[in-house]
Amino acid sequence: MCGKSDTNRKTAIIVGALFIIGTVGLALSAVLVGSILDDPDYLIEFSTNENRIIIGALLVLISGFALAMVPVMMFPIFKKYNEALALGAVVFRGALEAVIYIAVAISWLLLLTVSQEYVKAGVPDASHFQTLGTLLLKASDQIASILDIVFSLGALMIYYLFYQSKLIPRWLSVWGLIGAILYLATGLFAMFSVDFGILLAPLALQEMVLAVWLIVKGFNPSAIASESVKQI
């Protein structure tokens, strides 16, 4: 029993750390690359900020892997409450999300390559690089919108499982559910070029609070004990 308790405590700490790595990494990547993507002269900005783009892409990959590991780490615990939903979280918040983060990083690196060729080509021969850059930029925007939708669907599954299991306080689970709904709305609006990025903030803040809670407090021991009794 003590060994299982130690395992659950370690899982809580690891999951909390993964949330921090993922959230902070994505925030830093947005700071590094976001303003460049929004710049009218983005091709020139990309070419003159190579290191920022590469570091931003690397942060996206690290963050994506960290966040994808959250449902994987939680699966052995969540499956005791709802195995189908726990598996769904692994698929959406794990596998699919990881693939999309890789696509985001690749799109930025491709834009970097195109921007460098654009600068080398000069004005007379630059038009096709501008066209290619426009296509890649639009693709990057659409990938980001799809990421918001996939991420939020996975988050809805995770926070419903937290709510159902009572592993964390109900208020924290409800905050996550509301934040995930707002996150989903942001992704849907973005697909129609409507920016409500401020709606991402509640879930980002919630996941940082959750991370600290998991590291400091861990899972609710009475919820773990109750589920263990049911399985005897």
pTM for this entry:
0.89
pLDDT of residue 229: 46
CB 88 within 8 A of CB 157: yes
CB 179 within 8 A of CB 152: no
Write the pLDDT tens digit of every residue in 8-29. 999 999 999 999 999 999 999 9
pLDDT of residue 224: 77
Report the candidate in 78, 56, 59 with the shortest Cα–Cα distance to residue 67: 59
Cα angle at 218 between 213 and 80, to 5 degrees? 120
Write the pLDDT tens digit of every residue in 35-85. 999 998 889 999 999 999 999 999 999 999 999 999 999 999 999 999 999
